[in-house]
Structure 1
Amino acid sequence: MKRIMVTGGAGFIGSNFIRYELDQYPDVRIVNFDKLTYAGNLENLKDIDETRYTFVQGDIADADAVRQALDGCDAVVNFAAETHVDRSIMAASDFIATNVTGVYNIVEAAHQLGLERVLHVSTDEVYGSIEEGSFKETDRPNPRNPYSASKASGELIGLSHFITFGTPVVITRGSNTYGPYQYPEKVLPLFVTNAIDDEPLPLYKGGEHNVRDWLYVEDHCSGIDCALRNGTPGEVYNVAGGNERENIVLTRKILSLLGKSEDLIKLVKDRPGHDRRYSIDPAKLGQLGWKSKMDWDEGIARTVGWYRDNEWWWRKIKSGEFLEYYNRQYGNR
């Protein structure tokens, strides 16, 4: 694979994946196809090697644009998605357009052009909540909010294309990912940046003991890369961090690292249908040689430090569209 198109490459995981590929493979060239919605930010990639990188602005919901950008590529990795559960509860139409129709456009174009591989990046949230144990890839998805339902639908589109046409689709399901360049609507960068400014940390009441498995973004990228290059078409691979923590534990850890008081914690009305616990088993991907490397304490400290040291990146984001969303989401809670 010499030329890889990365959709959503100006977003959080997508931009980190581009960095990872360019660092790991000196002969790889990247085409970054991104619509540049509110969470897309080309400053995430401002210091990369542009001699092996091309940016194309476009929407995966536009079939013609997808096919044109894919022409000449060997593979595509699809990060492009609407990803925030709270936004999907407010309005789900964009999630359907991007996470379902967009996936169809990608696999259809890949089939027509004869690509070597289509890697579709999905989420552990398609499984729903689990009280004990961990989900395996053979467990039946049970999405419980509009976001996860749209992601599960996109998976089915991809897998059906493999079964029907032989399109070489591989799917990864990642757990809660954290690290640099994450848009501050998500809990970790939101809480870090709020705490830096001594603003309240809006923690869902009733969800403070919910459990998430935390996966450092570079580990997620290496897992996706492993599945891309070594996975079997038509298969699904879990990518897990092995770092399950309650939301309140994460919140207290952030405050401790910043030397801030727990008085900043503000319990707010819980999210409708809030899943209690996510947990996935990555043993299948482990059989291909992958494992997560980042220790949770080190990863959280490194991430908090990045946001503390890079206010230039997030301060301009936390205005305009973000501020409107934030007030709409938390203003009456």
Structure 2
Amino acid sequence: MNLLVTGAASFIGSAYVRTLLSEDPAVHVTVLNRLTYASTLDTDHPRLRFVHGDVCDPVLVDRLMAGADQVVRFAAESHVDRSISGAEPFVRTNVFGTQTLLDAAVSHGVGPFVHVSTDEVYGSIPEGAWTEDCPLSPNSPYAASKAASDLLALAQHRTHGLDVRITRCSHNYGPRQFPEKLIPLFVTHLLDGEQAPLYGEGTHVREWVHVEDHCAGVDLVRTRGRAGEVYHLGGGTELTNRELTGLLLDACGAGPDRIRRVPDRKGHDLRYALDDGKARAELGYRPRHAFTDGLAATVAWYRDHRAWWEPLKHRLRDPLDGAAQARR
């Protein structure tokens, strides 16, 4: 079986490909990735083919789709702060890129087409949890671009019968996450003796899922999901950013003086929460990583792998560094 995976040099996409190749000897993976600033890549596997290219290139996408049986669409611009500073790359990659892939999938009869999305498409919820039939109400340019791509994917199913399956996940954490996101940013700052930059009063609430649990959920949707359906993949652990920061301080042996308050993000959503009962009931989805253990292992990984993340932090020496607290 030939699987086309876009965005597999990303944190989540690369974790998915590593796991899939190690667990399913019948799968051959073609990775399409543009290798943007946040990409990290390991192509050393006999059943992995890497293609350096853009999901917005219709000629290249059509050629790759012709040899694919199924698609998993990870490729996305995902950093909320960067979308606020400039939305055009997010619209281009997340909207036009998705449509380019969908058109090629329809043309070649490829499916399932798993489109990986986010809880942020719903906006903010003061209490309770979203179900898959809740209306979309995105508040950031990033979230709006993802909501648009979700709707385009569902439209291709309804119009052309394309076997589209959408996943929406809560915030991811784990090893090898690019250090502009909240957990690796704070951990690497603290390990370097710097302060952790906390937005506002830190009252924003996020639900967390280990990247390996998310990837397992994505593959359940690919192999067991139903065409035209949306599935939530949650982690079950809800924390305010202030509570999470306290856990990271403890894990790094730092005190509260290592917190630096920074002005809140524009239009910052207060709370996200997913009801993942549908994926649990239909697909047998069950997160395996207890958050306390997963977070401790993640901090230990960054402590032991400075050679991996120190060069990446040099890419962040721009105005966004120090205020970067994003979603995965």
The question of whether the paired residues in 2 share the 8 Å contact of 1:237 and 1:285 is answered with yes
The whole-number CA distance in structure 2 between the counterparts of 1:249 and 1:70 is 45
1:1-333 alignment, distance < 5 Å? 2-42=1-41, 45=42, 48=44, 50-206=45-201, 208-287=202-281, 288-319=283-314, 321-327=315-321
Secondary structure of 2:287's aligned partner: coil
AA at the equivalent of 2:252: L
Q: Which runs of 5+ in 2 are unaligned?
A: none
Q: CA RMSD in A?
A: 1.2
Q: Distance in 2 between matches of 1:239 and 1:63?
A: 30
Give deviations 1:53-107, integer Å, cap 9, x for gaps.
Answer: 0000111111111111222111110110000110000000000000000000111
Name the amino acid aligned to 2:237.
N
User: Matched residues in 2 for 1:7 and 1:217: separation?
Assistant: 17
Code of the aligned partner of 1:84? H
Q: Distance in 1 between the 2:245 and 2:212 partners? A: 22
The answer as to whether partners of 1:3 and 1:75 remain within 8 angstroms in 2 is yes
Cα drift, residue 329 of structure 1: 5.0
Unmatched runs of 5 consecutive residues or more in structure 1: none
Shift of 1:116: 2.4
Q: Which amino acid in the other structure matches residue 264 of structure 2?
A: D
Conserved in 1, the CA contact under 8 Å of 2:56 and 2:100?
Answer: yes
Q: Percent identity?
A: 44
Q: Distance in 2 between matches of 1:172 and 1:305?
A: 29
4+ long deviations beyond 3 Å: 325-330
SS in 1 for 2:197: strand
1:56–1:69 Cα contact (<8 Å) kept:
no
Does structure 2 retain, via aligned residues, the 8 Å contact 1:5–1:77?
yes
Deviation at 1:214, TM superposition (A): 0.4
**CA distance in 2: counterparts of 1:186 and 1:116, whole angstroms:** 32
| In 2: Cα distance, 1:117 partner to 1:175 partner | 22
Provide the rounded CA distance (Å) in 2 between the counterparts of 1:176 and 1:328: 19
Q: How many residues align?
A: 323
Give the SS at the match of 1:55. strand
Whole-Å Cα distance in 2 between the matches of residues 327 and 77 of structure 1? 31
TM-score, normalisation: structure 1: 0.95
Take 1:308 and 1:69, find their aligned partners in 2: how far apart are those partners?
39
